[in-house]
Amino acid sequence: MRTLSLDLRERILSAYDHEGGTREQVAQRFRVSLGMVKKLLQQRRRTGDIAARHRFAGRKPIILAEHRRQMARLLASKPDMTLRELRDAVALRCTLPAIHYALDGMGLTYKKRVSAPASRTGPTSPARAGSGGAGKGDSTPPDWSSSTSRGRKRT
């Protein structure tokens, strides 16, 4: 469905106001839906404007600029706040992922980091092999079975 031009909107309202006739007749004359004529009349009555209102369509944001500033201040003073604590402190009624996306959009991170220093001994487990069979060959030596005990020697 295409947006009606401002000129067509003006002609529809002018025909309804000055030439009489019902909304149904005006809709048929200009080949628009009856709902469009009703919405146009309602919009003019409510706002005084007849231009397209696409900029007002869609979901309204829950987390506004003031909320974002408040979250930034809170995180600056206490960087280890959880998403739930942050949501409660700002008194927002939204999901935790909504807080995450807002922080992500602000370039802030909420990831918890271990406060202990990194281990100097290094990893204690061997690196894992890649998935699938294409690799460096069999992981089990040929003279061993796939169980934990040694298999019989092949001759």
Task: Please give the pLDDT value at position 19.
Answer: 86
Task: Please give the pLDDT value at position 150.
Answer: 60
- Other beta carbons within 10 angstroms of residue 78's beta carbon come to 11
Task: Please give the pLDDT value at position 110.
Answer: 55
Question: In 3-state terms, what secondary structure has residue 122?
Answer: coil
Listing DSSP states for 78-95 in one string gives -TT--HHHHHHHHT--S-
Q: How far apart are the first and last CA of the chain?
A: 79
Task: Please give the pLDDT value at position 2.
Answer: 76
Task: Please give the pLDDT value at position 59.
Answer: 84
In our burial notation (b when 16+ CB lie closer than 10 A, e otherwise), range 22-54 reads: ebeebbeebebeeebbeebbebeeeeeebeeee
Q: Which residues have CB under 8 Å from 48's CB, separation 6+? A: none
Q: What is the mean pLDDT of each run of 10 residues along the chain (155 residues)?
A: 86 90 92 94 92 81 92 91 92 92 84 61 65 57 59 63
Task: Please give the pLDDT value at position 118.
Answer: 64
**CA gyration radius for the chain?**
33
Task: Please give the pLDDT value at position 125.
Answer: 64
Q: How far is CA 108 from the centre of its chain?
A: 16
Let me know: does 107 contact 84? Beta carbons within 8 Å: no
CA gap 53, 31 in Å, rounded: 21
Question: In 3-state terms, what secondary structure has residue 9?
Answer: helix
Task: Please give the pLDDT value at position 33.
Answer: 94
Task: Please give the pLDDT value at position 25.
Answer: 93
Segment 36-48, tens digit of pLDDT: 999 999 999 999 9
Domain range annotation of the chain: 6-56, 65-105
CA gap 155, 145 in Å, rounded: 14
